[in-house]
Amino acid sequence: MFSRRSIIRPGGSREEKLERLKKALADADAVVIGGGAGLSASAGFAYSGARFMRYFSDFAGKYGFQDMYSGGFYVMQLPPEEQWAFWSRNIYVNRYMDPPKPVYEKLFELVQDKDYFVLTTNVDHCFQKSGFDKHRLFYTQGDYGLWQCSEPCHEKTYDNAETVRRMVEAQGFVIAEDGTLTIPAGAAIEMTVPAELVPRCPVCGKPMVMNLRSDDRFVEDEGWHRAAERYESFLRTRGGRMLFLELGVGYNTPAIIKYPFWNMTAENPDAVYACLNYDEAVCPAEIEGRSICLDGDIGAAIAMICA
């Protein structure tokens, strides 16, 4: 493990770093992508501001929270019908709607002909929706599209697409042909869902919750374990010129992507580490010579490389 004192911001111009990244991509025998929240933010999945107010202004007005993330904690104290009014909207706009900007699609263009694997803490399914092979993806922290028993009484997850769709429509939203939510002129949006739509475990009858890692009750189902095995196999069987491409990963859970990428780069003298992030594009001094740290918008950088 590296010490805090060894973490640096390498110098060099943006143009130089982009050229180095282009070359690293071209030369790489294999690419390991680490996707964090900043990648989806670059694609337009903002959890606050205008996007939040478009779908949650009623919740903001009634309860005062100003973003989807904090709202998820606040609504836990509300009745189930109101909790799921909030969560069904949250799930729909962040899992079943496409992001406004084609950042993931452009990223796929860069690696589609490479031997790649994706490790991500994001739960919005954007990688798979943009063309990435689902057998080359490992969603470590869950999926907005899945529910699990709150207990949990068994290690299984359940697809929520149909029920979430019924929930948002029951509140008065209309799902347009392109999948976006619209509000008919003059329509009143409800802040509850019918009690019969509130999800309960089919085995024990207790409430269902999102399959998101927040405590030791997170269900790692069969699909999760298969993905973990595929990722471990990829790392075990590849070597040589590896590119560890970290995109939008912060310090909430650095032990999942950031620290392992640093360590694997240090252990492989032919590997390159690249970090694209706002204000957190850093690396350990020990691998500075084989690191490309680029501050700024991820989508803009990817577009320039694709050009």
Count: domains in the chain? 2
Whether residues 34 and 166 fall in one domain: no
Q: Does residue 175 register a pLDDT over 90?
A: yes
pLDDT bin (cut points 50, 70, 90) of residue 1 is low
Q: Is 80 exceeded by the pLDDT of residue 2?
A: no
Structure tokens given for 288: 């500075």
Whether residues 55 and 124 fall in one domain: no
> What's the rounded Cα separation, in Å, for the pair 153 and 184?
41
Whether residue 112 sits in one domain with residue 242: yes
Please count the other Cβ atoms lying within 10 Å of the Cβ belonging to residue 192: 19
- 127: domain range? 4-42+101-142+221-306
Are 63 and 117 members of one domain? no
On whether both 179 and 277 belong to a single domain, the answer is no
Find the CATH number of the domain harbouring 259.
3.40.50.1220
In this structure, the answer to whether residues 66 and 88 fall within a common structural domain is yes
Evaluate whether residue 147 is within a structural domain: no
The CA distances from residue 300 to 42, 107, 276, 295, 296, in Å, are 9, 11, 10, 11, 8
Both 105 and 38 in one domain: the answer is yes
Average pLDDT over residues 283-295: 96
Q: If 0-12 CB within 10 Å is exposed, 13-18 middle and 19+ buried, where does residue 73 land?
A: exposed
| Residue whose C-alpha is closest to residue 235's, from 25, 27, 33, 39 | 33
Task: Residue 171: name the closest of 85, 240, 78, 77 by CA.
Answer: 85
Please report which helix (H) or strand (E) contains residue 148, including its range: strand 142-149
Q: What is the DSSP string of 208-241?
A: EEEEE-SSTT----HHHHHHHHHHHHHHHH--SS
- Residues 290 and 165 both lie in one domain: no
Q: What is the pLDDT of residues 121-162, one digit of tens each?
A: 999 999 999 999 999 999 999 999 999 999 999 999 999 999
In this structure, are 119 and 81 located in the same domain? Answer: no
Quick check: 93 and 55 in contact, CB under 8 A? yes
pTM for this model (two decimals):
0.95
Q: Is the peptide bond before 199 cis (omega within 30 degrees of 0)?
A: no
Q: Are residues 106 and 55 in the same domain?
A: no
Residue 69 falls inside a structural domain: yes
Q: Rounded to 5 degrees, what are φ and ψ at 59?
A: -65, -40
Same domain, 236 and 249: yes
